[in-house]
Structure 1
C-alpha cells in the first residue's frame, strides 16, 4: 500500500501545483489558495510515507 500512497501524494502535488498556477494566471486568489493547500497535503502525505520507509528499513 505504500507505493499506492506515494503515487497519490505525487498526484496531489501535481494537481495542486497546476491549480495554483491556473489561479495565478487568471487572478483567482481562491483557486491559488486551494492549489497551495492541495500541494501541501501531497507534501505531507509524501513525508509520512518517507518516514514509514525509514522505520521499515
Structure 2
C-alpha cells in the first residue's frame, strides 16, 4: 500500500471510530477518532509537501 493510501485509510478509520463513539456516547472513541483523523490528514499534507519539493528539484 502506498504511503498516501495508508494515510487516507488512517483518516477514514478515525472518522469511523469517531462516528461509533458518537453513536454510543463513548467520549474516548470520539477523541481517538478525531486524533486519528488529524494524524492522517497531517501525514497526507506532508506527502504533498514532499511531492511538491520533488517536483521543484526535477
The alignment's TM-score, normalised by the length of structure 2, stands at: 0.90
Please name the residue that 1:12 is paired with: 10
| Residue 4 (structure 1) shift | 1.2
What do residues 5-51 of structure 1 show as CA deviations (whole Å, max 9, x unaligned)?
A: 10111100100000001100100000000000111110011000000
Please name the residue that 2:26 is paired with: 28
Q: How many correspondences in the alignment?
A: 55
- Displaced runs of 4+ in structure 1, greater than 2 A? none
Larger radius of gyration: 2
Give 5+ residue unaligned stretches, structure 2. Answer: none
Give 5+ residue unaligned stretches, structure 1. Answer: none
- What is the Cα-based RMSD across aligned positions, in Å? 1.1
Which range moved further: 28-37 or 3-12? Answer: 3-12
